[in-house]
Amino acid sequence: MALQFNQAAVLPDDKPETLALLQRHAYAFVQGTRVQWRYDTAASQVETTFSASTKVMEGPDNGPLYGLYPHHWFNNASVADKLGPAYDTVRGKIRLVAAPEFKTTQRYMGFVPYWPGVADAPSRAALDDVMKSDLRNARRMMLPEGQSAYWQGKGLQRIVKLMDVAEQQGNLEERDRLLAMLKKRMEEWFGGAEGKRYFFVDDKLGAVASYPDEFFAIAEVNDHHFWFGYWIRAAAEIALRDPAWAAKERWGGMVDLLVADIATAERGRLLEQGDEVLFLVALAQQDRRGHCRRQQQPHGEHREHIAELEANSIHCRPACPRGSGDCAPGLFWCCSVRGS
């Protein structure tokens, strides 16, 4: 029986050797892709390995042919001598590489979680006046508009940042009051006792959803990474000050669900052993492209870069207060979004 298959590709140039390169790898049909991370703590470097499995349809196994984005090949000594022809794109040149796999190494520079306290400075009095006003209005700042988890998450961020400043300024009494506000509001959503606002696992979607719904968050599994990123950030800030609150048997289990929804690095991850709910690996992440996906629409991908940076910086933090979890995927996403 004759084999039935076809393969098509756009040539990056009109050189015979380029045609020969694509023809040599045309019979290796990609079946799956993998990305693996390793974080070197001492060197503060994230090493990422990209690989693909192929099915040879005819002839010898020449392996896959990768197209590397600029953040893959620029200043990357491990691929410098393997780079082939290039496609011109709006993202820069996509360089072809024939190899079983390729690696990138990126330096993690960290991020500043707080503004340092203002001690003796001309602006101290002005800051104190602004803080007094914001502290009086903190409860209204928690949810000044909207009802969904998106608006509430933004409100949580306002209180988190206000709490940070109060703490850095040495106002621990107000810090504790704001911390209690954060806990109460998050527990209302996580517990869902009122039935007015809550998170739940949607078996059909294989994802965590929230009520009230807005912006097609359920129908299109839209916006999850930065909606939930706000909540994960707030939970991490609580855990830094009260680790017991984030214990798995208390509220940490709910936080873990939000993390799993947007950023699990496990393929085929079940909610619990024996359950049927399956989380999609790195739902919001585009590992190879180096950015997130807010929404998949018929006319293309809709991105919100500031929200992506917010969400990705948060991936590094939730596990740290509890002393558990692997930060390497989060560090990779931080570096990739910055680098791309």
Report the C-alpha gap between 78 and 45 in whole angstroms: 15
Q: What is the pLDDT of residue 167?
A: 93
Q: Cis ω on the peptide bond leading into residue 212 (within 30° of 0)? A: yes
Predicted pLDDT at 38:
84
Looking up tokens 């000050």 gives 241
Per-residue H/E/C for the chain: CCCCCCCCCCCCCCCHHHHHHHHHHCCEEEEEEEEEEEEECCCCEEEEEEEEEEEECCCCCCCCEEEECHHHHCCCCCCCCCEEEEEEECCEEEEEEECCEEEEEEECCCCCCCCCCCCCCCCHHHHHHHHHHHHHCHHHHCCCCCCCHHHHHHHHHHHHHHHHHHHHCCCHHHHHHHHHHHHHHHHHHHHCCCCCCEEEEECCCCEEEEECCCCCCCCCCCCHHHHHHHHHHHHHHHHHHCHHHHCHHHHHHHHHHHHHHHHCCCCCEECCCCCCCEECCCCCEECCCCEECCEEECCEEECCHHHHHHHHHHHCCCHHHHCCCCCHHHHHHHHHHHHC
Q: What is the pLDDT of residues 190-238, one digit of tens each?
A: 998 888 888 888 877 778 888 888 877 777 777 777 788 888 888 988 9
Indicate the pLDDT class of residue 92, thresholds 50, 70 and 90: very high
Least confident stretch, 19-28, 76-85, 229-238: 229-238
Model confidence at 300, pLDDT cuts 50, 70, 90, reads: very low
